[in-house]
A and B are shown apart, each in its own frame.
Chain A
């Protein structure tokens, strides 16, 4: 199922557009062109459809962020989707100071946000909205349009939510933030976006971060206290109490499962808990894996082996001096516990984003429309990894941080999310347990049986019922008749269109035919459409008795040219000498009395029939591998091929047609019997396979 990021409707897998609201589904690694609305691959700099510059959508320039006010924005992109559920308070959001000026400058997500707000909010003239927000936040908090938040943010919310020690704590915190933020946060340049945020994008974090992580991680256990009450104490000074707590809540088995232990009555909790207990460790492992991929990070210490790396960073970061995080992270300082108590005003805006969501009003509906994961390791989780925000962001910081994040992450966060979301249960088992993939299918038994079946007649012929009875084939008889009707000195073109792979199968019939042709006194010209064909021809001792024209490159086109003009098709022969067409007496393929192709692919036969046969009256015969006989036979039935020998059995039939009295030699007999028994062995294997399958299915048995 795919859930619509806009309205949450479940859509069939593979849907591209939501059945309910028409929202495009399936991946956000696209940039919507601000002019024509076309979706472009994220790496495009210019719109595929109209040529507009898209670059700023992907990487907003620095200037943008420095413009404090937002001028009029009209939203050229998609029409509003589902407006329900978007609280009024959001109307103000677009006026957020960090938003860009020109239309082209609007980041993609913002554009969509705008769109979803409807035309009503054409907010050009309004003053910077920060104050307004400040007023609003403590009371109500703003719920942002769900589709706007990048997945990773959403994820953040989904995880800490059950953790919140008590929601009362949150409100005061919010209040204070709200007061502080407008002044402080607005200045924070995007460059200071902490590395860990970037890291959420699924690549290993930059090198310099590693020491910091280590240190923070080391800090955490000290502050740690196992129970709620402590958490409460810690909470007020810390920006994101819930996050700080996470590491503490170590369960015996894994870090995360414990987090869900009965603390949180929120709507999401139940499924989340189930998920966490079952599958929690897995995410962690994945994350670790990602971290480890770079090979540069310190292993996530101190928080329990199972806490996802990003959570760890997050937690430790939050627990320690948040205000310093930005500056500190690149050059790790030595934060002391005292610093933790610093005033919140200093909290960087980006951190604000991580603030746990506001408490839901009584009677307010839980966001039921949030998608529940139905498959993969997040099964049962509501909105765990969706593009729906579940964070109650600080007023203007929301947009800022998201915009910052959006600039850094778009494609990669999305991609990772998709990967994660699609992981199935099997992908989440601990590494040590081998993932059961499929049964082996007893190759040993199969190999032995087949070898025995083939070897027995070769060593002791005459045991197999049916014996060496060769099925007579009319097509082989026609072939023989063609060869026998050749006048002496007739020119015959033989094309070696197979390679050594099937030489064992085709060499013998080809040799038979060549011997007969020689006996008829035909003039042989030998060519090949495969690079190795000339070598195979030379092997047959044709070097002295025939003209080896060598390799004709170009496959079908080469044959087409050969059919239109023989001259120039072969510049040099197999030996590297230039081909003298006059001496050969050949001006076109029409001079040939017979063309024979020995082919291992039906395409080659088709080329001969279509490119050569359709232009000339020269009869074409084919010697083909038995595997392609069914697809080549129609050409014989339609008369485009005047003779057909397929594989060994066809070769035997051909031989019988040439000299009906001669009986098969011992080797030929043995080969036919081996063929018979080999087929029987395969049938036996098929039966065994079914017995094994049905035995297991009906009577259980080992798995």
Chain B
């Protein structure tokens, strides 16, 4: 039974793989079908995960099994009900509270993440020695490129300008030069990231093709 279901499974997945790859011949019903199946299973699977690894163990079971110990869960339960009330159009406004709560959490995570996940490590990581005595000329030049790249790319995004005063013009000219340099570094980044992504994506394709070339003959044996 297990063997049979595996066999069927491999054939099904091979069929689906071919259906998706048929997209290369142009948009066609086979591809569209596969794609809709995919979206369907993705949503279904997400619902299951949401229920089985979040709602059931973290909300429903605790409230059912030990409601007194977990009384604080009444708050999310209430918020959840308010959120569900959105299904009724006249109750839509009720969903504002849970959304406000989620947004508050999300904003805090975003700000915290930006400060401690981006700014702190990236600024620290850029404070490098450009002194050849520390690590040789190669490293020093590299570090210098990195620092200049970071600073100029950051300057590239400068939004606001001053009026038409002498100082403003001077500053504008200086900024323009920096921004141009920043653009170059950004282009290097683009080229490098583009190219390094090729590697990974090609291996995905090679993997799928190898699956077709090797797995299917195996099942035929």
Interfacial residues, chain A to chain B (CB-CB below 8 A) = 19, 447, 450-451, 454-455, 458-459, 501-502, 504-505, 507-508, 531-532, 535, 550-551, 553, 556-557, 571-572, 576, 578, 606, 610, 625-630, 634, 638, 647-649, 667, 670-671, 674-675, 678-679, 682
Contacts and interface: CB of A to CB of B under 8 A. Distances in A.
B197 A679 contact: no
Contacts of B210: 458, 667, 670-671
Contacts of B138: none
Closest 5 CB pairs of A and B: A504-B207, A627-B200, A626-B200, A571-B57, A531-B49
Contacts of B53: 531, 550-551, 553, 572
Contact of B208 (A19, A504, A557, A638): A504
Contact of A675 (B113, B197, B202): B202
B209 interface: yes
Interface in B190-209: 192-193, 196-209
Nearest to B214: A667
- Centre residue among B49, B53, B196 by max chain A CB count within 10 A: B53
B199 A674 contact: no
A530 to B, nearest CB: 10
B49 A458 contact: no
A458 B199 contact: no
Given A610-B117, A634-B125, A671 B203 contact: yes
A629 B196 contact: yes
A626 B203 contact: yes
Contacts of A671: 203, 206-207, 210
28 contacts: A19-B164, A451-B24, A454-B202, A455-B209, A502-B204, A504-B208, A504-B211, A505-B200, A505-B203, A531-B46, A531-B49, A556-B117, A572-B56, A626-B196, A626-B199, A627-B201, A630-B196, A634-B125, A667-B210, A670-B210, A671-B203, A671-B210, A674-B209, A678-B198, A678-B202, A679-B199, A679-B202, A682-B198
A233 B46 CA distance: 75
Nearest to B125: A634
A644 to B, nearest CB: 14
Given A19-B163, A502-B204, A679-B198, 17 more contacts: A458-B213, A504-B203, A531-B46, A531-B53, A535-B45, A556-B113, A572-B56, A576-B52, A610-B121, A634-B125, A648-B203, A667-B210, A671-B203, A671-B206, A674-B209, A678-B202, A679-B199
Interface string B113-149: 1001100010001000000000000000000000000
Task: Using C-beta atoms within 8 Å of the partner chain, give the interface range for chain B.
Answer: 35 or more
B203 A675 contact: yes
Contacts of B58: 571
Nearest to B23: A447
A675 B199 contact: yes
B209 A458 contact: yes
Interface in B11-70: 24, 45-46, 49, 52-54, 56-58
A682 B125 CA distance: 33
B109 interface: yes
Nearest to A610: B117
Contacts of A556: 109, 113, 117
Nearest to B120: A610
B206 A675 contact: yes
A630 B209 contact: no
A630 B192 contact: yes
B45 A531 contact: yes
A504 B49 CA distance: 22
Nearest to B42: A532
Contact of B49 (A501, A551, A557, A626): A551
Contacts of B198: 678-679, 682
Given A556-B109, A557-B109, A627-B199, A459 B206 contact: no
Nearest to B105: A557
Contacts of A19: 163-164
B112 to A, nearest CB: 9
Contacts of B49: 531-532, 551
Contacts of A679: 198-199, 202
B187 to A, nearest CB: 14
Nearest to B194: A682
